[in-house]
Amino acid sequence: MTLHAGSPVAGCPQDLWREPDRDERALWEEARVVAARAYAPYSGFHVGAVVSAGAGLSYCGVNVENASYPVGLCAERAALAAAVAAGERRFAALAVATADGRDAAPCGACLQALGEFGDLEIVAQVGDEVRVAPLRALLTTPFQAPEAPRA
């Protein structure tokens, strides 16, 4: 199925995704470049992600597959881990792209992981077009710990 901008999809609000601005598109282009470095010998699905943080800094990640499939890591969480390891805690946007131009949006696990740090814009290829949506629109009811985090 090909989804075109503005075309309705059953169960999806038509205005969920919007056009990216210049910075968001540039972030997505970075993710597409990074995707070439993915380790995906099992699926051949090479994914890159770039998360933008404060002071114009951004951090990248790729999917890292494993012979034990559940051990594999998504590009989005790899980028998040790199950013958190650098001391970042607040993010403006995360872009995800594939090396071969196939659609890719964050999975539920990655949305939950990103949501730990608050809302941010998700830049992804949806229906052959680069689009942007707030994380909170994609993950409306994240799991939350019963106690406040101690970070």
Residues that bind Zn ion (CB under 5 A): 74, 107, 110
Among the listed residues 61, 121, 60, the one whose alpha carbon sits nearest the alpha carbon of residue 90: 121
Shortest distance, CB of residue 73 to Zn ion, whole angstroms? 8
**CA 88 to chain centroid:** 17
Among the listed residues 6, 3, 31, the one whose alpha carbon sits nearest the alpha carbon of residue 18: 6
| Residue of 24, 76, 88, 121 marked active site | 76
76 assigned to active site: yes
SS3 content of the chain, % helix, strand, coil (to 5): 30, 25, 45
Q: Which is nearer to Zn ion, 27 or 74 (CB)?
A: 74
Q: Which is nearer to Zn ion, 23 or 142 (CB)?
A: 142
With beta carbons less than 8 A apart as the criterion, state whether 29 and 68 touch.
Answer: no
Other CB atoms within 10 Å distance of the CB of residue 52: 25
Shortest distance, CB of residue 86 to Zn ion, whole angstroms? 20
Q: Which is nearer to Zn ion, 75 or 130 (CB)?
A: 75
Shortest distance, CB of residue 55 to Zn ion, whole angstroms? 26
Task: Give catalytic residues, as residue numbers.
Answer: 76
